[in-house]
Amino acid sequence: MTAPLFLEMAINGLISGSIYALVGSGIALVYGTTRVLNFAHGELLMIAGYLVLFFAVTLGWNVLLASVVTLALVGSIGAAIQRITIAPLLAREDWAFRVIAATIGLSIFLQSGAQIVWGEQFRTLPYFFDGVVSLGGLRMPVQRLSILVIALLLMGLCALVLYRTSLGRIVRATAQDAEAALAVGIPAGLVHTSVFAISAVLAGAGAILLSPILTVNPWMGVSFLLKGFAVVILGGLGSFGGAVAAGFLLGLIEAASVMVLPTEWRDVVAFTFLIAVIWVRPNGLFAGREA
C-alpha cells in the first residue's frame, strides 16, 4: 500500500467519521439533557434527505437556500416529535422503555410513510461542488472534502453555543439537574424541545452533506442510527465532546478495517469494537466529561 493510498483511506475514514459525529453528537445532546434515547433520530436524516432533494432538484432552488430551508424544517420536525410523542410519555412510570418502544414504532412508521409518499426510488442529488483535488497520487473530489470541513464547522458552532453562550449554560444546567433548573426559573420543557431541534438540525446537516454521494431512500437513516448509538456509548452516554471524538475514531477504525479485511466485515469490526469497549470501560472511552 502506497502512502497516498493510505492517506486517502484515512481521509475517507475521517469523512464518514464526521457524519457519525454529527449524528452521534445530536443523540448525545438529547440523551445528556433529557435522558431520552430517540430511535427515530435516523429518520430525521432521511426526512432531511428527501426535503433537500425536493427543494434542490424538484423545485430547482439554489443549494444553499434549499439546505437552509431543509434544516429549519427538520429542526421543527424534531421539536414536534419531542412535543407530540416524547414529552407526554415522560410523566408516566416506566417512561424510559416506553419512549424506546414508541420511538421505534415512530421510526418504522416514518420509514414506511416515506416509502409510500416518495416511492422506493433510490435518488441522488447532483454534486454541490465540482472538481477533484489531486495531490501527488491522492485524488479526492471537493464534494467529499467539503463534508469534513462543513461538519467540523457545524460541530464547532454547536460547541461554541453549548459552552460560550447563555443558552448553552441553560442547557447544561438542565442536563445536570432539571428540577433545580426549574427552581431557578429555567423552563425545562422548552429547553428539551430546543435540544431536540438542535439535534435534528445536526442530523439534517449530515443528510444534506451525504445526499450527493449516497442515495436518498426510506431506509437511509437505519445504519446511521446504529452507528450514532455506538458513538454515543463509546463517547460516554450524554457527552457531546465524547460523541464527536468517538465518531471520528469509529470512522478511522472502519477505514482501517476496509484496508485489512473485505468491505463487508467493516460493520462487524465496528460493533465488535463497541461491545469490547463495553466489557472494559462501561462508561465509555472518555468517561468523566459531561455535556
Q: Which of 174, 167, 155 is nearest to 35 (CA)?
A: 174
Burial class (CB in 10 A: 0-12, 13-18, 19+), 2: exposed
Taking phi first (over 0 means left), then psi (-120 to 50 degrees means alpha), and beta for anything else, what does residue 35 get? left
Quick check: 92 binds another protein (CB under 8 A)? yes
Q: Which residues contact 112 (CB under 8 A, 6 or more apart)?
A: 218
Q: Among 58, 76, 176, 282, which residue interacts with another protein (rule: CB under 8 A)?
A: 282
Strands (E), the chain: 132-135, 138-141
SS (H, E, C) 7-23: HHHHHHHHHHHHHHHHH
Cα separation values, 258 from 20, 133, 246, Å: 17, 23, 18
Question: In this chain, which stretch among 75-83, 106-114, 147-155, 158-166 interacts with another protein, using CB under 8 A?
Answer: 106-114
Identify which range of 145-153, 167-175, 244-252, 260-268 contacts another protein by CB under 8 A: 260-268
Q: 450527493: which residue's cell?
A: 212
Q: Is 179 in the site for another protein (CB under 8 A)?
A: no
String marking each residue 26-65 x if it binds another protein according to CB under 8 A: -----x-----x----------------------------
Which of positions 239-258 make contact with another protein (CB under 8 A)?
258
For the CB of residue 68, give the shortest distance to another protein in the complex, in Å.
25
Question: What residue ranges bind another protein (CB under 8 A)?
Answer: 1-2, 5, 8-9, 12, 31, 37, 85, 88-89, 92-94, 96-98, 100-102, 104-113, 115-116, 119-124, 132, 139, 141, 144, 213-215, 217, 222, 226, 229-230, 232-233, 237, 258, 262-265, 267-268, 271-272, 274-275, 278-279, 282
